């Protein structure tokens, strides 16, 4: 049994309370203990702000980018060992583990690359300057500077490596130290990654702390220059956003929460179209990759009523061929749910959906005596407007086909009933129909992924979050925004307007200083 420790104030430390137990979800065996009771959380915040922040801001953006590149390489060097841990603790197949780990190292590397053009200053010009006075001498220029606080990063269990590193990439590059907390069920993977980060010695002291277990009273010590970046369920996010200390101090809070993502098939897509093939392939990937435990996975499949039978037939056939089993076995394409609690949640969610839908395949039955295995479950809605279809996120290998009449307006109405989503995928060649849908659902989504025959052969799957484009969404998706290239740094930077002599302020702080504008 491994005892997971926290990396606080430059040392690995154990809690002194009652530990939580982590399991191997394939065998239902206990593999690790995790506890952070009694750690000095106030000290961690002060250490991050005082030591870590100061060290980070002794150098500029370009140098911090070089650190990210080194971190990416250090984690990548342990890839095989981390893949094995991910199978043991997360129930991840090799492909699922790579998705998480390569997402982590790829995002660090992407931000390292971006940093190359940012220069060695500790500010970023924000657009062009503007004449304010009667002559150009009196000038205005916006800039962004690192906030001298600490960033608390709370991550969900489903991407223990990627979730931690994508947040770390942005805060470190911005010059803000992080205290990172993983989701407990898969904390062993995060712990191993944290060990690599700490042992690499790449980051200066205090720039990275890691709390494995509860955050204790950490949030009570945050102030106006600090940041809380949360990823997890809408319920936990709402509770944290209302935290009295954070509200009182106007601490920046951003939430990445859950989402009833939808895929929308246009009526004109024939079975032999490249777009149709992409539609079916991506749905199978979304339902089975990471056993459906992906915040971006499609939960609602909007299909023109007359195409429902063809879609269901294709998907049932493909899903029936997915090999389910021990994730360490190379033939396995889908492993178990990540934990017993997840299994209970997902089975209960499937049951709730079955009250308003029929199962075309799968269902909430445990597949094996040991291990949290469920079959990929495709449901077909009886009533497209049933509330539960648009409000309950079943965070597992489950999606529901929802028939609609083929009009963009009707697809818009149903898509937006999700109350705010991370990503909606559109499969259409008809440009006018697509544009109507795009404009109809854009306000309710963080990302619209549009597939036509022109791009079907090169588009990444919609569930893949890319560092170049934003991740997040309005409403129930949390209202947050991460990544999106340099936009991802905004959370950690303060924008300030400078007004004065162009010859001085414009020259020193304007875009011509060599730092890239945000």
- Which spans of this chain sit near ligand NAP (rule: CB under 6 A)? 154-159, 181, 183-184, 215, 231-233, 236, 240, 256-258, 295, 393, 395, 422, 478
Q: Smaller CB distance to ligand NAP: residue 240 or 498?
A: 240
Angle, alpha carbons 223-62-169 (nearest 5°) = 50
For residues 433 and 424, give the distance between their C-alpha atoms in angstroms, rounded to a whole number.
Answer: 15
Q: What is the 3-state secondary structure (H, E, C) of 411-449?
A: HHHHHHCCCCEEEEEEECCCHHHHHHHHHHHHHHEEEEE
Q: How far is the CB of 494 from ligand NAP (least distance, A)?
A: 24
Active-site residue, selected from the candidate residues 34, 295, 398, 451: 295
Q: How far is CA 481 from CA 182, 195, 230, 358, in A?
A: 19, 28, 11, 35
- β-pair type (29-34, 20-24): antiparallel
- β-pair type (398-404, 421-427): unpaired
Residue 398 is among the residues annotated as catalytic for this protein: no
Q: Smaller CB distance to ligand NAP: residue 295 or 357?
A: 295
> Measured at CB, which residue is nearest to ligand NAP?
232
Structure-block tokens of residue 311: 């879609």
Beta-carbon count within 10 A of 345 CB: 17
Q: How far is the CB of 489 from ligand NAP (least distance, A)?
A: 17
Q: Smaller CB distance to ligand NAP: residue 98 or 243?
A: 243
Phi-psi region of 10 (alpha: psi -120 to 50; beta: other; left: phi over 0): left
Q: Smaller CB distance to ligand NAP: residue 126 or 393?
A: 393
Q: Smaller CB distance to ligand NAP: residue 65 or 182?
A: 182
Q: How far is the CB of 355 from ligand NAP (least distance, A)?
A: 21
Active-site residue, selected from the candidate residues 256, 393, 481, 482: 256
Residue 482 is among the residues annotated as catalytic for this protein: no
Structure-block tokens of residue 450: 């549009």
Phi, psi (deg, nearest 5) at residue 208: -135, 120
Can you say how many angstroms the Cα of residue 224 is from the centroid of all Cα atoms in its chain?
25
Which residues on adjacent β-strands are paired with residue 29? 24
Angle, alpha carbons 154-160-165 (nearest 5°) = 75
Structure-block tokens of residue 285: 């990937």
Q: Say what the alpha-carbon torsion angle 229, 235, 240, 244 is, to the nearest 10 degrees.
A: 150
Question: Helices 431-441 and 408-416, interaxial angle, to 10°?
Answer: 30
Q: Smaller CB distance to ligand NAP: residue 106 or 204?
A: 106
Q: Smaller CB distance to ligand NAP: residue 139 or 159?
A: 159
- By annotation, the residues acting in catalysis are 256, 295
């Amino acid at each position: 049994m491994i005892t997971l420790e926290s990396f606080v104030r430059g040392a690995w430390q154990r809690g002194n309370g009652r530990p939580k137990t982590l399991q191997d979800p394939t065998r239902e065996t206990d593999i690790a203990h995790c506890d952070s009771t009694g750690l000095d959380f106030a000290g961690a915040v002060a250490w991050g702000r005082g030591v870590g922040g100061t060290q980070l801001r002794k150098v500029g953006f370009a140098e911090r980018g070089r650190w990210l590149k080194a971190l990416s390489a250090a984690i990548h060097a342990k890839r095989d060992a981390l893949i094995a841990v991910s199978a043991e603790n997360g129930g991840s197949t090799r492909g699922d583990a790579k998705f998480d780990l390569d997402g982590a190292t790829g995002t660090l590397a992407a931000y390292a690359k971006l940093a190359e053009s940012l220069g060695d200053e500790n500010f970023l010009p924000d657009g062009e300057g503007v004449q304010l006075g009667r002559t150009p001498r009196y000038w205005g220029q916006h800039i962004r500077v690192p906030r001298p606080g600490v960033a608390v990063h709370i991550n969900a269990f489903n991407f223990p490596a990627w979730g931690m590193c994508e947040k770390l990439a942005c805060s470190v590059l911005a010059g803000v130290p992080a205290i990172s907390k993983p989701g407990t069920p898969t904390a062993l993977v995060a712990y191993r990654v944290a060990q690599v980060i700490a042992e690499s010695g790449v980051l200066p002291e205090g720039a990275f702390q890691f709390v494995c277990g509860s955050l204790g009273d950490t949030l009570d010590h945050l102030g106006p220059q600090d940041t809380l970046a949360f990823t997890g369920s809408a319920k936990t996010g709402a509770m944290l956003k209302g935290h009295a200390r954070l509200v009182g101090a106007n601490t920046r809070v951003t939430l990445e929460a859950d989402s009833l993502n939808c895929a929308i098939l246009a009526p004109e897509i024939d079975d032999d179209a490249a777009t149709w093939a992409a539609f079916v392939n991506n749905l199978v990937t979304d339902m089975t990759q990471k056993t459906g435990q992906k915040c971006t996975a499609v939960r609602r499949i909007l299909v023109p009523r007359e195409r429902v039978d063809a879609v269901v037939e294709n998907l049932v056939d493909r899903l029936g061929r997915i090999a389910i089993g021990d994730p360490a076995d190379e033939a396995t394409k889908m492993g178990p749910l990540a934990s017993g609690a997840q299994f209970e949640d997902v089975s209960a969610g499937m049951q709730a959906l079955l009250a308003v839908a029929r199962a075309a395949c799968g269902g909430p039955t445990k597949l094996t005596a040991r291990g949290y295995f469920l079959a990929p479950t495709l449901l077909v809605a009886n009533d497209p407007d049933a509330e539960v279809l648009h409000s309950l996120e079943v965070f597992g290998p489950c999606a529901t086909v929802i028939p609609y009449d083929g009009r963009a307006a009707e697809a818009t109405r149903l898509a937006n009933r999700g109350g705010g989503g991370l990503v909606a995928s559109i499969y259409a060649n008809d440009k006018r129909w697509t544009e109507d849908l795009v404009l109809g659902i854009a306000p309710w989504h963080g990302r619209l992924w549009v597939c036509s025959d022109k791009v079907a052969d090169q588009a990444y799957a919609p569930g893949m979050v890319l560092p170049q484009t934003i991740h997040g969404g309005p409403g129930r998706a949390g209202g947050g925004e991460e990544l999106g290239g340099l936009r991802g740094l905004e959370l950690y930077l303060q924008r300030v307007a400078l007004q004065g002599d162009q010859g001085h302020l414009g020259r020193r702080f304007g875009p011509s200083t060599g730092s890239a504008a945000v």
